[in-house]
Every structure is written in C-alpha cells, then in structure tokens.
Structure 1
Amino acid sequence: MRNAGAVLFFLLLVMPGLGLAQERVVRLAGVISEARMLPLIEALSVNLPGTRLVYERLTSAQVAAAAARGNDVPFDLAFLSSPDIAVSIANEGHAVMDEVAGAMADRQWRGEVFSFWSDPAVIVVRRAAFEGRLPQTRIELVRLLEQDSVRFARRVGVVNVGIDDIGYLLASQDSIRTSLYWRLVRAFGGAKARIYDTTDDLLEALQAGELDVVYNVPLSALHAGGVLPKGMEILVPQDYVLAVPWTALIPKGARNLHETRILLQMLLAPDGRAALSAAGFVPPVQPTRFEGLQKIELGPELLVFRDMIKRSKFLDAWFQMIVG
C-alpha cells in the first residue's frame, strides 16, 4: 500500500490534472478570421466554466470535406457563411439533429442546420463619384455605369464568384430574383471592374481609396472592418436586399456532443445576440431601410446552383461578361 501511495504521489507531481475534473474542450471551425472570432469565443466562454473553446479557421470546402470523413472530424461545431454548403453537408447525412436548437433557431432545416444570423448584402459607394445622384436601385446603378463607364473605369469592385462562396451564392440568387442581373454584370464589365478573391481583399482596396462602387458586400463584414473611409456611404437597394443566413451545424464526428449542444443552444438563445455583436454581427442601425429584405431560405433548393454543370455555365457567363 505504501508503494502504491508513492506511485500515486509521483503521478500527481508529473501529471497535475490527474484526479481532477478533466477540462472539456469544444473545437470550433469557421470561415472568419481568428481575430474576429476571439471576442465571440470569449463572450461564450463566460457561461461555459470548465470548458475550453478552441477555434480553427477553415474554408467552406475544408469544413465540408472534414465533415464527410465521419469519425475523424477536427471540429465539434462549424460556423458557415454559405448556407448552401451547410445544407449540402446535412443532405449527405453528415450532421447531427438537435430538436431543442431547431425550436430555438429563427430558421432551420431538418433540425440539423441552424441559422443564427441574417446578413444583408449592401452596396458601398463614394458620394463624390456620383455628383449627388446616388443610385437607389439596381436599375439606377446599371444606367449610371452604362452612361459613364469611362469615369468608373477600374473603380468598381466585385469578389470573384468562382472563388468566394458568398459571392457565388449572392450572384446566383440575384440571377433568379431580377432579370436585370446579367445587364448589371455586363455594366461591371464595361467599367472594367476589379475582381478580388475575397471580401477582405475587396474591403482593403476600398479602405485604400481604390474603388468608388462595391457591390454585394455582407453588412457584417463592413461592421467587422471598422469605420468606412470618409466620403463612402452604404446603400441599401430599394428594389430588394438579399439576406444570407449564417449557419451552424454539429458534424456526426463531434467528440464532445453534450457541451457542443449546450454551446449551440447558447448561441441561438436571445442572450447570444450580445456575444454575436462582438464578432461584427450587429443589427442595422436603421432597420426601416431594410424593408425590402429577402431572406434566403434554408432548404434543398440551395443545392440547385451547386450542380457542377449549372455552376460551370453560370461562371462561364459571369466571367465572359466581366472579363470578356
């Protein structure tokens, strides 16, 4: 017994955690930066004593590929800004059902994909570039670009819809909501629009004063990016405003399912709004400006534009009109 006690004492010296409650870890994955995610993690951790939240930034494609691996998934909860990819993951049978979270979410699909935020897509313009005639609708923007493509040459910015998941989703949703969309894309081409790989790159160019028009920018990205440069203004299109649902899901390979469910439900609870605001998910200052909000619904219809043939044709048309 004396020897056994000595062994236990030695183990406690070299392994201080032995005999104490083991720290619980919930692994998070998402498409936004670690710096932007940190305030949200800190806000959620306050109400999860004894649980450590670990975050890794992954692309949507990496999240989908990891979820498909089954038991070898490197995260317990995924945050996706691309609802079509989240629906695809669940549709292929790789997401866990949570009925409680489903009842709490503003929108959900099959109790497996949960929307925790609706992100409006807006237009940012430089007031001086329009000589007091700021466009209020897409048709007004189209006409201004068509009438003065020389003045706007290389001063319009868009994201590469072949790379950026949100850019592609918004472009495809635009194309089924307005017959003006392809005329707008052609106007971008006439103005020799600059194409950026990510929204972050687009906003960096905006901050540097290189652009006069930026189309379909998620409002949360603008909030997270800080104060707009002097002379820039956010335009909320009066014809309609697309709102992208940010989603969360638990993969079937989650290791710490109990704590992950608690975390997900905390995120969806009314108190979770304060935590979300720390990461740039802030309600519009003037909500009445967003009366034309059209929320993109969660469901299998989002998979239509993920068909490889349809996607290829869409991208071919987009690049042909912009790049020529």
Structure 2
Amino acid sequence: MRFFIALGLWLLPQILLSQDWEDRRLFEGATPQQTLRIISSTDTSLFAPIIENFLAKNPELEVDYFVAGTADIDRIFRADPSAFDLVVSSAMDLQFKTANDGLALQLNDVVHPSWAQWRQSLFAFTSEPAAIVVNRDAFSGHALPKTRQDLIEAIRARPEVFQGRIGTYDVRQSGVGYLFATQDARASETYWRLMEVMGALDLRLYCCSGEMIDDLADGTIAIAYNVLGSYASARIESQSKIEIILPSDFPTTMMRTAFVSVDAPHPKRAAAFVKHLIMQRSKEDENAVLLPPLEILANGADHATIALEPALMTFLDTLKRRGFIAEWEDAVIQR
C-alpha cells in the first residue's frame, strides 16, 4: 500500500507538468508549508490579487495556480479529482453537473444565499455579463448597437467593414461559450439570425475572452460577441480603443463558481479559500480585486442572471448538445 501511495505522489507532478496549460504560476506565502492546487479558467492577472490577499492572511501556504479552458478543466478534473484542491470556472453548467455528480465537497459552515450556491457544494462569487465589445474605430461616424438586432443591422449595412473581423467563442471547445450560446438561443430566435449573419462574413472563432480582447484592441477584429465583460473592463490600456456594450434586449449574466474537490488533498485549507472568495469584495480588499463582485439581489437572481439550478444541465445531455452544435455549425460555418 505504501508503494502505491508513494507512486501516486511521484506521478502527480509528472501528470501536471505534462498538461499544456494556458498559464501556471506558483504564489508563495511568507513561510510556505502546504500547497493548495487550484485549476481555474480565470486569467492569472485577474485572479492574482485574490490569491495574494489570501496568502497575506495565511503565510504558511502557497498556491499552485493552473489556468485552462472551461471545457478542458472539466475533462482534466474528472480524470483525477485528487490532483486539485479547488476548481474555479465560468462554465456554470459544467460546474453544476460536476457538483451534482458528487465530485464537490459539501461545506456546511459556509454562509451564502441559497440562489448563489448549490447544496453547500458549489458557490458563486462573481456576477459577470456577456458583452458585445467593439473597436471604436470601426464605428466612427456610426451609431453603436444597443441590441442584437441593432448589431445585425449594423453588420448588414457595412459587410465590407466586418468581413473576417467578427469574433466569438467556438462553442465546440469553450464551455462558457457553449453556456452563453445555449442561454441566448433559449431567450430569442434573434440569436440564430445573428449567427447566420456573422457566419456569412467568415466569423473568427476563439477559445477564450482574453484572445478576443487582444485582437479587438489591435484592430484584427472589429466586434467580439459574448465576451466576458470583466476581461474587457480589466484592459485599462485599451479603454480608448474599445467600447463595452451590454445588450438591452436580453442581457445574459453568468456567475463564476468554485468548489472544493471531494478528494482535495487539503480540504480545510481549500474551504478557507472558498470563504475568502465569497468575502473578496470586503472594504479592505475592494481596490485590489479586479473581478466584479457577486451582485446581491433583493429577490435572488434576476431574469438576466443564469440561475444556479438543475435546468443548467439541459443542454449537457448528449443528444441535445449534438443537435445544438449541428445547428450552430450550419449557421456559423457556411461553405
């Protein structure tokens, strides 16, 4: 038995090193004695202040922070739940299913609103809208779209300006992209008309918001659809070049969630980090945190916020997902 435990401890670093991570960074406390491993879809630059604030209060720890796409996170974590202490992702549906499958540890001492958690095992800690972000130069002298229908009309009016210069998530690879797309499709048929219009102009497909914002800022693309608003807001150096539009027809807001692995190597420390996430926008830390807070709503989540409930898993059904992807490909990939 000792041999297998030792083998597992030896293999874990090799497995983690073998992954092609988008980013990886080790944050050290003043006197580190234990390592928390966090796998997350949030860019390191946005999450770093939260980790640094936590380590300032827990100097005996260090945090090994791994960044991957939302769909990759789900796959990697399910392959070995003991490899990580915490999982943080913007793909609410995949997170919900993982927790519902019993892979998230129940934390009975975490106080959180019922609408922002699921069975004391999955906890929301930010509210972030899906935004239309545009390069201002492409709309110079023209009205900015306020709705998806406005966007359709703007693209149709000047197709030569937007040919090959519109970006959105590749929903076949991006978990949060798939979440936003299915929510949009449920809300209105306008979504499918928009996909067809954009698809006819050689739509560019992306894995993540960060890459879309980069291409938007340098003019490679003129429009990024369904980008996480927090990523665009954080690009202070690009604020003179980009405009963030929250569509008024049917706004979509997701809640970024976190859970402790049921097989976490350090469950108590991980639970302490979850509590820290929930309290991240306390008065003393608010200037250091780049991610938006969880909106506290009088009557729970409003109509614009995707609810943390079993309905999230509807489009994760194999047949429904296959059908949705097929319809999306017909609209977007026009040959």
TM-score (norm 2): 0.79
Equivalent residue for 2:134, pick from 125, 131, 142 = 125
Cα 1:75–1:61 change in 2 (3 A) is: same
Would the aligned equivalents of 1:189 and 1:322 in 2 still touch at CA under 8 Å? yes
In percent, how many aligned pairs have the same letter? Answer: 27
- Residue matched to 2:160: 150
CA distance in 1, matches of 2:95, 2:287: 22
CA distance in 2, matches of 1:104, 1:261: 17
Equivalent residue for 2:124, pick from 115, 119, 135 = 115
CA deviation map 1:5-32 (0-9, x unaligned): xxxxxxxxxxxxxxxx992332222123
Would the aligned equivalents of 1:145 and 1:191 in 2 still touch at CA under 8 Å? no
CA distance in 1, matches of 2:114, 2:35: 24
Moved more, 313-322 or 245-254: 313-322
Would the aligned equivalents of 1:126 and 1:233 in 2 still touch at CA under 8 Å? yes
CA drift at 1:85: 0.9
Equivalent residue for 2:192, pick from 182, 185, 188 = 182
CA deviation map 1:255-283 (0-9, x unaligned): 21222222211221265586586463036
Cα 1:233–1:114 change in 2 (3 A) is: same
Equivalent residue for 1:82, pick from 91, 103, 106 = 91
Q: Map of 1:253-268 to 2, 5 A cutoff?
A: 253-268=263-278
CA distance in 2, matches of 1:163, 1:153: 23
CA deviation map 1:102-154 (0-9, x unaligned): 53676011111100001111111233433332111111111222233233211
CA distance in 2, matches of 1:57, 1:181: 30
Equivalent residue for 1:250, pick from 232, 254, 260 = 260
Cα 1:312–1:126 change in 2 (3 A) is: same
Would the aligned equivalents of 2:126 and 2:292 in 1 still touch at CA under 8 Å? no
Matched, 1:222 2:232: yes
- Residue matched to 2:327: 317
- Residue matched to 2:310: 300
* Equivalent position amino acid for 1:115 in 2: A
Equivalent residue for 1:49, pick from 31, 43, 59 = 59
Would the aligned equivalents of 2:115 and 2:308 in 1 still touch at CA under 8 Å? no
SS of alignment partner, residue 103 of structure 1: coil
**Number of corresponding residues:** 296
- Residue matched to 1:26: 36
Would the aligned equivalents of 2:135 and 2:216 in 1 still touch at CA under 8 Å? no
SS of alignment partner, residue 160 of structure 2: coil
Would the aligned equivalents of 1:149 and 1:190 in 2 still touch at CA under 8 Å? no
Equivalent residue for 2:171, pick from 161, 164, 171 = 161
- Residue matched to 1:288: none
Moved more, 202-211 or 78-87: 202-211
CA distance in 2, matches of 1:188, 1:306: 25
* Equivalent position amino acid for 1:56 in 2: F
CA drift at 1:229: 5.7
CA distance in 1, matches of 2:188, 2:279: 35
Q: Map of 1:184-199 to 2, 5 A cutoff?
A: 184-199=194-209
Would the aligned equivalents of 2:69 and 2:207 in 1 still touch at CA under 8 Å? no
Q: Which one has a bigger Cα radius of gyration?
A: 1
SS of alignment partner, residue 79 of structure 1: strand
